[in-house]
Structure 1
Amino acid sequence: MLSLWLHRQDPTRNMNRFYRLYVSADLLGGWCVVREWGRHGAAGQVRRDLYASPEDAQAAGQRLARQKLRRGYRPALGTPLPAELLGAATG
């Protein structure tokens, strides 16, 4: 299942953000995409979106990850980017 730690830094704009995205099973038998985001060193926000199947949740997570990669977010140091998202990071 998808699990990503992304960050976006631009000292000239005082930008130091993080974005965590992962797909997980919930306690009621469904699946969810969990997003956490904010500024490094501060309390962030969390959002959980529910899906009926792991395939739907995985597809939604990949779609969100591609959006963030297009906006300039990059994997945190030492964190590999899944193969299905490699094209989104370069263009």
Structure 2
Amino acid sequence: MRLLLQQRPDGPEAPRFVQLFLQPDLLGGFTLVRESGQIGGRSSVRREQFLDHASAIKAMERVRDQQIKRGFQVMFTQGEATRS
């Protein structure tokens, strides 16, 4: 599952983005990968481990909702349908 969120361009600076995706690990758990930064610039990557799919989805939705409150818009989704 993958989500790409982006802020509206504001002035001369490139817009910021947040990309969230889930990766299964070799032990049956899941990793939530969060990449954020400025388009065309540097970005940072954070990873969180979860034991099951349900808790990983819940964390992903929590981060998505936080970013939407900060002014980001969902630009692209791939994978399972997420709750709003």
TM-score, normalized by the shorter chain, greater than 0.5? yes
**Alpha-carbon distance between aligned partners in 2 of 1:33 and 1:47, rounded to the nearest angstrom:** 8
Residues 26-80 of structure 1 show CA distances to partners (whole Å, capped at 9, x for unaligned) of: 133211111000000013111110011100100010011000011110022xx25
One-letter amino acid of the counterpart of residue 35, structure 1? R
What is the CA–CA distance in structure 2 between the aligned matches of 1:37 and 1:83, rounded to whole Å?
20
Percent identical pairs in the alignment equals 30
Partner of 1:60: 59
Q: Secondary structure at the match of 1:46?
A: strand
**SS state of the match for residue 84, structure 1?**
coil
Contact 1:8 1:15 in 2 (8 A): no
Aligned residue-pair number? 82
Q: Which residue of 2 aligns with 1:50?
A: 49
Q: Kindly report the root-mean-square deviation, in angstroms, between the aligned alpha carbons of the 2 structures.
A: 2.1
Contact 2:14 2:39 in 1 (8 A): no
State how far apart, in whole Å, the 2-side matches of 1:40 and 1:83 are.
25
**Larger % of helix: which?**
1
List runs of 5+ in structure 1 lacking aligned partners: 86-91
TM norm structure 1:
0.76
Higher relative contact order (CA 8 A, sep 6+): 2
1:16 matched to which residue of 2?
15
